[in-house]
Structure 1
Amino acid sequence: MASFLPLIQDILPMILPTSVAVTKAADILPPEPETRAIESENGGTTTTGVKVISRHAVVNMTDSMCTSVLVVKPGSSTSVRHHGEQETIIYAVSGKGSLLSQPRGDKEEPERHELGPGDFAFVPAWTEHQISNDSTVDFHLVIVRNGGSPVEVHLTGWGGPEARPKR
């Protein structure tokens, strides 16, 4: 009976066709958030508003993969994170930024991998990483993971415990 399993997996999609699912950009990314400049005591200004936007694009459609969109605003970074058992492919759509990965050995600084439009990066399971945007334009990324729903574990820092949401 076990020898029929691969054959059934090949034939089943032909017998029971599925439909294509489309997720529109307007349903993923919100309109540009309102930002405002605040004057600081030293005469400079800072901008408030959303710094990182993460939205699921294709989730729970299959057990084998899922996709999200990540936008990192200028001068911003994501938290240090890992995706548990999920392997991850990152595709840089537009803008420029850095993928920082966990320090190796005795190094205290994370490895820095510069990414620009059209670049791909592979992040192995359980690998701590962070996305940083030091440019003046938004950094848009597509994140593809194995597994039907994304796993995202935010950490307090490199090698740190899981960050708990503020209540």
Structure 2
Amino acid sequence: MSKQSPSAHGHDHGHDHAQGEPRWKHDGVRVIPGDKLDPNTAQTPGMFRQAAINQARVGAQKIWAGTVSIDPDAKTGVHHHGELESVIYVVSGKARMRWGDRLEFVAEAGPGDFIFVPPFVPHQEINADPDQPLQCVLVRSDNEAVVVNITDVDPVEKPEAVHWVDPIHRHPGKP
């Protein structure tokens, strides 16, 4: 197939006019080394999130991906993620998810399992192992970290005092 000039049909198919090369040649597929993830993301006590794919790192417009390490026996408060869809892949450990209007549903997942969390579903994430950390890969359908805490549902499994800590929301008592 011959390469046509951009002016031949009115658009450039992603070519860099200055260099005559496709823009995607240097700005296409990206590999993010596992030891170069970005911890500058919303954090929760007992959990450590790191971004691999997001707008700031690679220009992603519709997806966020990263890792989360959850301390033994750690639990979030009840929350949902608005319109976002979330996928959790369990690398190691034992995850327990509770969900529903009163967290009346429960399921567990282990290494190799995927968890899907639909939009607006009230849920609680739990490391079901009291001795081992839970390691997961997390993918969300948007770049925004939407977290809506639900305070009128009494969690079946009580979390520690949970404070969302990020550059905007500081931990209480810390400058």
- Which TM-score tier does this pair reach, normalised by the shorter chain? 0.5 to 0.7
Do 1:72 and 1:78's aligned partners in 2 also have CA atoms closer than 8 Å? no
The reply on whether 1:148 has 2:143 as its aligned counterpart is: yes
TM-score, scaled to structure 2:
0.62
TM-score, scaled to structure 1:
0.65
With over 3 angstroms needed to count, the CA separation of the structure-2 counterparts of 1:27 and 1:153, relative to structure 1, is farther
With over 3 angstroms needed to count, the CA separation of the structure-2 counterparts of 1:84 and 1:159, relative to structure 1, is farther
In structure 1, what is the equivalent of residue 34 of structure 2? 25
Counterpart selection for 1:59 from 54, 57, 79? 54
Taking every aligned residue pair, what percent have the same amino acid on both sides? 27
1:27-55 Cα offsets, whole Å, 9 max, x none, are 3387xxxxxxxxxxxxxxxxxxx622122
With over 3 angstroms needed to count, the CA separation of the structure-2 counterparts of 1:150 and 1:21, relative to structure 1, is farther
1:58-81 Cα offsets, whole Å, 9 max, x none, are 111221211131111111112322
Separation (CA, whole Å) in 2 of partners of 1:12 and 1:120? 35
- Of structures 1 and 2, the larger Rg is shown by 2
Separation (CA, whole Å) in 2 of partners of 1:159 and 1:127? 15
In structure 1, what is the equivalent of residue 106 of structure 2? 112
Do 2:74 and 2:126's aligned partners in 1 also have CA atoms closer than 8 Å? yes
Structure in which a larger fraction of residues adopt strand: 1
Q: CA deviation at 1:101?
A: 1.1
Q: Matched residue of 2:83: which SS? A: coil
Separation (CA, whole Å) in 2 of partners of 1:59 and 1:138? 25
Separation (CA, whole Å) in 1 of partners of 2:92 and 2:81? 23
Do 2:38 and 2:52's aligned partners in 1 also have CA atoms closer than 8 Å? no
Question: What is the RMSD computed on CA atoms of the aligned residues?
Answer: 3.1
Segments of 5+ residues of structure 1 without an aligned counterpart are 1-7, 31-49
Separation (CA, whole Å) in 2 of partners of 1:143 and 1:91? 6
In structure 1, what is the equivalent of residue 81 of structure 2? 83
Do 2:63 and 2:143's aligned partners in 1 also have CA atoms closer than 8 Å? yes
Separation (CA, whole Å) in 2 of partners of 1:23 and 1:157? 40
Residue identity in the other structure for 2:64: C
Do 2:68 and 2:135's aligned partners in 1 also have CA atoms closer than 8 Å? yes
Counterpart selection for 1:122 from 113, 116, 119? 116
